[in-house]
Each structure stands twice: as C-alpha cells, then as structure tokens.
Amino acid sequence: MPLPPRPLIIDCDPGVDDCFALFAACASPELDVQAVCTVAGNVRLDTCTRNALGALALAGRHDIPVYPGSDRPLSVAPVYADHIHGETGLGRAELPPPLRHPEPVHAVDHLVGLLKNAPERSVTLAPTGPLTNLAAALECDPGIARGINEVVLMGGADTEGGNISPHAEFNIYADPHAAKIVFESGLPLTVLSLDVTLQLRCTPERMAELDAADTPVTRAASAMIGHVNAIYGEIYGKAGAALHDPTVILYLLSPDLFETRTVRAEIVCEPEDWRGHTRVVNASGADANAVWVDAIDAEAGFALLLERMRRL
C-alpha cells in the first residue's frame, strides 16, 4: 500500500534552480506541497514571489498558495545573486502570468500559525534559500518545532569551501544569523551542501536531454539554465551549471540515491572573512545536529529530475 503524500512547505528564493525544484515537487504525487514561502536571496523578495507564482502557473498548480516572507536578513545587509541568475532571476526564460495573487499573510506568520496547530512531527520543510523565514518563525514561537517532522535544506559547504566567498555558500552567507538559529534549534536537519550539489551539473549532454524533452516546462527550464551555463563558463571556467536546489526534492523522493553521515555543523557569523562558513565535524549521539549529504548518483538523480519535469 503506497504511503500518503508527505506534507511539504517549500521556502525558496527563485532563482533558476529554485524553479527546477518547484517543477519537480509539483510533478511528484509523493509530495503534498501545501504552500510556497518566499524570501529575499537570489533576487529581491518581490521578484522571488513573482517567479514562484509564475513557476506554479507554468506547472498548472493554481492550488498552491504563495506567501511572501522576509525581504532582508535578520542582522546583515542584503546580498543578491542576480549576477548569476539574471536581473529577473530566470535567466532568459519568461514565465506565464500568475494564476493567483500572493497571499496577504506574511510567510513567517503563516509558518507560525500552521506549525503550532499541526499534528506532532507532521510537516516537512524544504528551504532552498536563506533561512530567514524559518529562523524568524522559531524566534517568534519556539513551540512550532513540535509540528516539524524534518528540515531538508540546501546550504553550506564543507569540502567545497564556498561559492560567494572562499569559505561560505550563498544561502548561509546571505543570512548567517538565521542559519545559526536553525542549526542550533534541535530540529531534525538534513543538509544538501555544495559538497553534493556541485556533483549534479547540467552538462552539455544533460542539456541536450533537457532540450529533447521539448515541453513548456522543460523549454523554460532550458532557457533558465542555459543562461547560468554561460555565466558558469565565464566566472568559474566550468562546463555545466550546478543544479543546487533540486537536490532537496530528489532527496525527499529517493534518499537511496545519496550518501550521508551524521555531523556537528556550526555556523560562523564573524569575522566578515569567514561569514557564513559551516564548520563541520563528524559526530554522533547528542553531539550531532545534522545529517550531512556527501554524494549523489548524479546520472540517476538527473534522470529522475527530468522524468518529473516531463510530467507537467
């Protein structure tokens, strides 16, 4: 007998790879996407919210509400990644008009209201952007932890160092104080960092597979990632942009594709040179605070991602 769909809230900052994650989640009956929350990150909040609504419209999911959230980090000045994602956050893609308006409730208020009344350990959270919304919700009402089954997030780096500084990954760097709150919260955390996401690249061969699918969703996805592929070549000298955020959805769908270990991960907020660094050591028992994902079967992972996007 199949398991019931997993209740899921996606907290994101679309962004190219966030849209890939949204497409995969929308196409997966194993996941009951109850809401999408947005946060400033890759681009500014209003742009992230518009992109989330457009991605859901293209996926045909008018049933999923979008809650705009935090427009700046808790303590530090905002940083954006529009130099990678483009001014619109979508590369060269254009998404259809939204099928619904953003909700009039702030994402933090929605998280607090939903989670404090949810059955114990019933809701999975999938943050793929800065952790500002979740941290603010925990600060507002620590009791919401009772309703959270697990947090599966994209952020951080150990062996890979960083992508916004030599020592930090963008999502953690963008709001290190929020990340520190979440990592010290005692919540069950699974972390998909650059260590694993850089293994899932949209290489020329995979780009050809994406183009061959030739659906409205895959055409939009190709226009998004094609832009980032060009930027990666210019900035990093590497072929194939990393598909960071979809790894979160792939992990939820098929954790057997990944290799993990238990760790103690601590967030460095200062000095500035080390802002957003994730200090990771192997740990067990009470010392551990996260499951750290080290590796993915990239061929199988990309095949699953593409298979889901073809469904839309």
pLDDT in tens, 35-55: 999 999 999 999 999 999 999
User: If you average pLDDT over residues 135-142, what whole number do you get?
Assistant: 98
pLDDT band for position 61 (cuts 50, 70, 90): very high
pLDDT value at 235 more than 80: no
Rounded CA gap, 157 and 18, in Å? 18
| Share of residues in the chain with pLDDT > 90 (%) | 91
Let me know if 157 is exposed, middle or buried by CB neighbors in 10 A (0-12, 13-18, 19+): buried
Largest CA distance in the chain: 53
Task: Catalogue all structural domains in the chain, each as residue range(s) with its CATH number.
Answer: 6-310 (3.90.245.10)
pLDDT value at 1 more than 70: no
User: If you average pLDDT over residues 251-277, what whole number do you get?
Assistant: 97
16, 166, 222, 257 from 87: Cα distances, Å: 11, 24, 17, 34
Q: What is the mean pLDDT of the chain?
A: 95
User: If you average pLDDT over residues 186-204, what whole number do you get?
Assistant: 96
The pair of three-digit structure tokens given for residue 100, joined into one six-digit string? 């619904």
35, 56, 217 from 27: Cα distances, Å: 15, 11, 11
User: If you average pLDDT over residues 251-273, what whole number do you get?
Assistant: 97
Beta carbons within 10 angstroms of residue 255's beta carbon: 13
pLDDT band for position 239 (cuts 50, 70, 90): confident
Beta carbons within 10 angstroms of residue 5's beta carbon: 13
Note the pLDDT tens digit of each residue in 26-39.
Answer: 999 999 999 999 99
User: If you average pLDDT over residues 201-214, what whole number do you get?
Assistant: 95
pLDDT value at 15 more than 90: yes
Helices and strands (H and E) in the chain: how many = 12, 11
The pair of three-digit structure tokens given for residue 28, joined into one six-digit string? 């997966």
Amino acid 2: pLDDT: 72
For the annotated catalytic residues, the residue numbers are 244
Amino acid 133: pLDDT: 98
Pairing of strands 66-68, 201-202: unpaired
Amino acid 84: pLDDT: 87
| Share of residues in the chain with pLDDT > 70 (%) | 98
User: If you average pLDDT over residues 203-208, what whole number do you get?
Assistant: 95
- Listed in order, strand segments (DSSP E) in the chain are 6-12, 31-38, 66-68, 123-127, 148-154, 189-192, 201-202, 241-242, 258-267, 278-282, 290-296
The pair of three-digit structure tokens given for residue 131, joined into one six-digit string? 């952790």
Amino acid 236: pLDDT: 63
Amino acid 229: pLDDT: 87
Q: How many CA atoms lie within 13 A of 95 on its CB side?
A: 30
Judge contact between 198 and 158, C-beta under 8 A.
no
Note the pLDDT tens digit of each residue in 80-122.
Answer: 998 888 889 898 999 999 989 999 999 999 999 999 999 999 9
Amino acid 140: pLDDT: 97
Rounded CA gap, 61 and 23, in Å? 10
Judge contact between 134 and 151, C-beta under 8 A.
yes
User: If you average pLDDT over residues 163-189, what whole number do you get?
Assistant: 97
Note the pLDDT tens digit of each residue in 272-286.
Answer: 999 999 999 999 999
